[in-house]
Amino acid sequence: MKARNNDDRMMGNHHGGQRGDKGMMFLSKELDFDSVQREKVAKLFEAHAGTMKKYQEEISRLQKQVYNCMVQDVPDSVHAFMYADTVGMCRVAMQKEFFRNATAIRQICTPDQKKKYDELMQRMTKGLGHHWD
pLDDT tens sequence across 51-107? 999 999 999 999 999 999 999 999 999 999 999 999 999 999 999 998 999 999 999
Beta-carbon neighbour count of residue 9 at 10 Å?
15
Print burial letters for 86-109: b (CB count within 10 Å at least 16), e (below 16): bbeebbeebeebbeebbeebeebb
- Give the torsion sign (CA, 108, 53, 90, 9): positive
Percent of the chain topping pLDDT 70: 80
31 within 8 A of 116, measured Cβ to Cβ: yes
Closest CA to 17 of 64, 50, 62, 61: 50
Beta-carbon neighbour count of residue 81 at 10 Å?
12
Can you give the pLDDT at residue 19? 52
Enumerate domains of the chain plus CATH numbers.
Answer: 2-126 (1.20.120.1490)
11 within 8 A of 23, measured Cβ to Cβ: yes
